[in-house]
Structure 1
């Protein structure tokens, strides 16, 4: 391994994929390596248009408060710049949210979320990353496999091919980070090197997003800036979310689980919105002018690869983001989970001595489950509320669902419960906060009332 007297861990690290995880990892790695090469299959444009390889970018994306904290820490002043570019920050009290058969109380929570197109968010982060003096980009470049030491115990680089050019070897690097997304080829490449197959868990939900942008009507007046009508499991399978985005537009995402998907024609799309548990979204957009076509993104289910459980794993390889754990996008946790994984990587890097990378990959893969515990369990608990969704229910699952139902029922009129829920949803606090003595007492002593529809 190579390093220098200034505390650098090595000369060169390669990040595969310009996903949010890849961009944030590049920023963190630039602190500890002399050079970072970001490899991306798509052409990277200096504009907010979504990448071809990121089809979900055309759909609703809200950055949770904890993810925003991480990005602001890595890029001071970022959200001032993002808002100036059109991002729409919103407090929980700005949202009208129909959930578990009731409208949540409109309580001030202090929790701010940022709504904008994913293309705008990615572009602004990418601009910050590519401005770093020790970052180099290889776009329009596809990876074909890992290069290793002769005994295959350490990854030393990648086999790459840029569009229109012969395959080349980018070898002699100190660390490779795979942030290439859900379609990561690391499982196959490791098997080809003689490593065991990585075990994975898939919670098959057959989710589809159908989304469309609208021009916000100039005469539109409402008590909300964000509007969400959620399904009520186990019977309800449809939801819709309407959010403000840049250029005075809305983005509407209609989502269906277990193949109960919205139609792609205009009349069917609007009818799906009209048939949600509450018609408020339909009422808002029925006369609004569309600002683009209806686009579709299908998501088979949450997927987690258990690299932490592998008996053997090569040195100098880190896997993170959706390449490691891809969460049901309904819950909006993906970017924030990736940001927290990157901060764990940063902590692991800080524990390495100058020029010493031995043990880094093993430490990261063993510790990352602690970061994924909360988002994975939150998504799992919601998904497994549907009996048709296959997967092992955790011990006490029935009690958890009973408590959650009472908690959400209480959130229709108790601001303190809403504040607790907002902090957990935005990953600012552990779910244990919703079982604190104060909230537990409220839940257990509240008078039960049937959800209103």
Structure 2
């Protein structure tokens, strides 16, 4: 540890990966370290185009309200900038959601999400991180492993390699943060250093995204800014979504569970859209002009690495973002989950004694489960509602599945329930909100909703 020069916790911190988790981490560390180095394998261009290492970037990334709150706190003015270049702020009532066999009533909730391409969001955040005077970005640079003290109990740096150059090292580092995503090599590197294998959970859903950008038809008329048609388990496995992005375009995604994947040819893509539980997505795109190719991205399922359960773990190393917990992207929780983990790291850093990082790695990894509880529980309950998904259901799963279906049925006509659901979905409030006495009574005395399961964007739009 190098002391608290100029009130800092250390001289040098290193972040692996320029994912959203990595970018937010670099911003937080810039307050606590004299220098922060952000290392990225891909070339980082100064534009919003997708980079090679992020195939998921070409698919929808609506930013939930809690994530937007955190980013606005870290980067004041960010969303004004985003809206100026084409991001669409959307209230819950601006969206048509078909879920559990019903259209949700279009109630005003006060919950605002932002819709844009992931490339645009990353680019604008990356610009702000690069503008920080004590942050250095090293792109086209691959990390090959960790450097440690002779007894391997503390990480002191990283081994680096750039194509066409000899391997080098970055040593004497006070803190290393792995934000390199789902493909993180930390589990293997720790095993090579003599640490036990990190326990891992995979909820295998074999989800595939098939997406295409369309020009928004000038004559298109609908009472929504975005629309989502969700599968209804146990039989339904197909999902369709239309989100507005910059340059007056739509990002359209067709997703399927359990290998029920959309084709990548024009006719097959449209036919899959036609097969959804409601016609809105198909009707929107059947005559729309494509603005790009059909792209596909497959993930095996939600994955969690339980670093908190390891009996030993090195000091001065933190792992966060998708490197710890990679959620089914259908629920839009990934960036917000990462932002919550970064804010936990910020809290842990601020609670450190001046000039010391001792115990930080252990405290952080032990507290991460509390941050992941809500997004993991929400993703798991949805994923495991498909009977074919393998794995033991947690205690009370049957009741929770029933209760969730009741909530979604009430949301077809009850504006108070929609408001509570929106706040939980956007991670602004605890799921306990949905068990308040008023809502619990409505669930227990509910009758099946009438007249809101058919039609085009069939829910009413309340003002």
**Normalising TM by the smaller chain, what interval?**
over 0.9
- Paired residues of 1:89 and 1:114 also in contact (CA < 8 A): yes
In 1, Cα distance between the equivalents of 2:443 and 2:417? 9
Q: Which residue of 2 aligns with 1:30?
A: 30
In 2, Cα distance between equivalents of 1:51 and 1:322: 17
Counterpart of 1:247 in structure 2 is 247
DSSP 3-state at the match of 2:183: coil
Matched, 1:83 2:83: yes
User: Normalising to structure 2: TM-score of the pair?
Assistant: 0.97
For residue 399 of structure 2, what is the aligned residue in structure 1? 399
Partner residue in 1 for 2:459: none
- CA shift, 1:5, in A, is 4.7
**1:25 CA drift (Å):** 0.3
Task: Give the 3-state SS of the residue equivalent to 1:63 in structure 2.
Answer: coil
Identify the residue that residue 229 of structure 1 maps to in structure 2. Answer: 229
Q: Distance in 2 between matches of 1:406 and 1:172?
A: 56
The runs of 5 or more residues in structure 1 that have no matched partner are none
Note if contact 1:7-1:353 (Cα within 8 Å) is conserved in structure 2.
no
| Cα distance in structure 2, aligned partners of 1:349 and 1:65 | 25
Q: CA contact under 8 A between 1:87 and 1:115: conserved in structure 2?
A: yes
Task: Provide the rounded CA distance (Å) in 2 between the counterparts of 1:441 and 1:108.
Answer: 22
Partner of 2:429: 429
Give the drift of 1:4: 2.8
Alpha-carbon shift at residue 85 of structure 1 (Å)? 1.0
Task: Supply the distance in 2 between the matched residues of 1:352 and 1:163 (Cα, whole angstroms).
Answer: 38
The answer to whether the 8 A contact 2:96-2:104 is kept is: yes
Alpha-carbon distance between aligned partners in 1 of 2:426 and 2:128, rounded to the nearest angstrom: 24
CA contact (8 A) 2:5 2:11 kept: no
CA root-mean-square deviation:
0.9
State the Cα distance separating 1:163 from its structure 2 match: 2.1
CA displacement at 1:354 relative to structure 2: 2.2
- How far has the Cα of 1:164 moved from its partner? 1.6
Aligned to 2:308: 308
- Equivalence for 2:138: 138
Report what 2:275 is aligned to.
275
The C-alpha deviation readout for 1:188-221, integer Å capped at 9, x for no partner, is 0000000001110000000000000000011111
Offset, 1:449 = 4.4
Which structure 2 residues correspond to residues 46-445 of structure 1 after superposition, within 5 A?
Answer: 46-445=46-445
Give the superposition deviation at 1:448: 2.8
Residue 350 of structure 1: how far off its partner (Å): 0.3
Cα distance in 2 for partners of 1:269, 1:61 equals: 20
CA contact (8 A) 1:244 1:251 kept: yes
Give the secondary-structure state (helix, strand or coil) at the position aligned to 2:6: coil
- Corresponding residue for 2:453? 452
Q: Give the gaps of 5 or more residues in structure 2.
A: 455-463
- Aligned partners of 2:24 and 2:342 also within 8 Å: yes
Q: Distance in 2 between matches of 1:436 and 1:122?
A: 38
Q: Which moved more, 1:402-411 or 1:203-212?
A: 402-411
Looking at structure 2, the residues matched to 58 and 446 of structure 1 have their Cα atoms a distance apart, in angstroms, of 41
Question: Cα offset for 1:7?
Answer: 2.0
Q: Structure 1 length as normaliser, TM-score? A: 0.99
Q: What's the CA shift for 1:441?
A: 1.3
Per the alignment, in what secondary structure is the counterpart of residue 345 of structure 2?
A: helix
Shift of 1:452: 3.1
- Give yes or no for contact 1:5–1:354 (8 Å, CA) kept in 2: no
Q: Is the Cα contact below 8 Å between 1:210 and 1:262 reproduced in 2?
A: yes
> 1:370: Cα distance to partner?
0.2
Between the aligned partners of 1:400 and 1:369, the Cα distance in structure 2 is 20
- For 1:103 and 1:350, the matched residues in 2 are separated by 45
Q: Is the 8 A contact 2:412 2:449 kept in 1?
A: no
Q: Which moved more, 1:370-379 or 1:160-169?
A: 160-169
How many residues were matched structurally? 453
